[in-house]
Amino acid sequence: MSILIDKDTRLIVQGITGRDGGFHASKMKTYGTNVVGGTSPGKAGEFVEDIPVFNSVKEAVKETGANTSIIFVPAPFAKDAMMEAADAGIQLIVCITEGIPTLDVIQAYHFIKSKGANLIGPNCPGLISPKKSLVGIMPSMIFKQGSTGVISRSGTLTYEVVYNLTDNGMGQSTAIGVGGDPVVGLYYKELLEMFENDPETDSIVLIGEIGGDAEELAAEYIKNHITKPVVAFIAGQQAPPGKQMGHAGAIISSGTGTAAEKIAAFEAVGIPVAKEPSHIPLLLKELI
């Protein structure tokens, strides 16, 4: 099994006629994802890589039975795109777009929740269930089907960690980049619960970074609710306080959110923390 996406995923690409939307629609389709349509207002009837284009998500859902969307529209229009998808009945919305105002994300997030849908991102690389479905911009060639679930705040670190897992013969059930903005959709707690309940996931890798307290909360949740082996890695150990490092959410403020605090929170509940991404497979093998 996998979580969130599989061979039954029916995907639409919002912004499919744009440069990035069209490029990644083709990549996802080639991988084997069931890309059933795309949207671009005013361009209904056109095709991108034999994928039909619709004016709206509502029309696309009606014609194709889509249940998942991925968003590549520019930041000023991303809030409306997310809300449009939820209003049309899409159950999983993956927003790749970066630079969306935080207040826009908050409004869209609460609307999506009110519709009973889930959001991944924004400012994320998406997710992949190897050999089943790719909904995102991840380099598919480094992934291998297996039983380790991966959750990460960093796209680039996801790829590095997965490369090392695959190189050590440890495949992935699903790998998810949650996004690096201050406000995002599904996060550690919800995804940890999904992996805990997935019978074909036998271990979990959690990749965190400086800023906020999500990792500390995840450590407490793992202690109380997760029975499967978990290994963590925290990026930003040399980051100076008060300076944004990469992601908008990766900033240490008021003496909180440091890598040392996050590492200590995991170690306090018995979760090993890798010093380098290449150490993760070795730590996992000791636990499985």
Both 250 and 114 in a single domain?
Answer: no
Both 72 and 164 in a single domain?
Answer: no
Asked if residue 39 lies in contact with residue 16, where contact means CB atoms within 8 angstroms, the answer is: yes
What pLDDT, in 10s, does the model give residues 176-208?
A: 999 989 899 999 999 999 999 999 999 999 999
**% of the chain exceeding 90 in pLDDT:** 85
Domain presence at residue 62: yes
Supply the DSSP symbol for 131: T
User: Can you give the residue range of the structural domain that contains 246?
Assistant: 139-287
**% of the chain exceeding 70 in pLDDT:** 92
Both 15 and 61 in a single domain?
Answer: yes
What confidence score (pLDDT) does residue 29 get? 98
What total number of domains does the chain contain? 2
* Sign of the CA dihedral running 105, 109, 88, 35: positive
Both 90 and 143 in a single domain?
Answer: no
Domain presence at residue 207: yes
State both tokens at 182: 């201050």
The span from the CA of 241 to the CA of 174, in Å, is 33
Residues forming a β-bridge with 70: 13, 94
Both 170 and 254 in a single domain?
Answer: yes
The span from the CA of 6 to the CA of 1, in Å, is 8
- Helices then strands, counting H and E runs in the chain, come out as 9, 13
In CATH, what number is assigned to the domain containing residue 111? 3.40.50.720
What pLDDT, in 10s, does the model give residues 229-249?
A: 999 999 866 556 555 555 555
Strands (E), the chain: 10-14, 34-39, 47-48, 51-54, 68-71, 92-95, 118-120, 126-129, 133-136, 145-152, 172-177, 203-209, 230-235
> Among the listed ranges 37-51, 67-81, 238-252, which one has the minimum average pLDDT value?
238-252
Q: How far is CA 270 from CA 223, 232, 266, in A?
A: 8, 11, 6
What confidence score (pLDDT) does residue 250 get? 45
Which active-site residues does the annotation give? Answer: 247
The span from the CA of 276 to the CA of 30, in Å, is 33
Asked if residue 234 lies in contact with residue 263, where contact means CB atoms within 8 angstroms, the answer is: yes
The span from the CA of 173 to the CA of 176, in Å, is 10
Both 33 and 171 in a single domain?
Answer: no
One DSSP character per residue, 224-253 reads HH--S-EEEEEE-TTPPTT---SSTT---B
pTM: 0.93
What pLDDT, in 10s, does the model give residues 276-286?
A: 999 999 999 99
Split at pLDDT 50, 70, 90, the class of 263 is very high
Both 276 and 219 in a single domain?
Answer: yes
Asked if residue 78 lies in contact with residue 102, where contact means CB atoms within 8 angstroms, the answer is: no
Both 111 and 157 in a single domain?
Answer: no
The span from the CA of 154 to the CA of 177, in Å, is 6
Mean pLDDT of 17-45: 98
Give the number of other CB atoms < 10 A from CB of residue 196.
17
Residue 147 in this model has a pLDDT that exceeds 50: yes
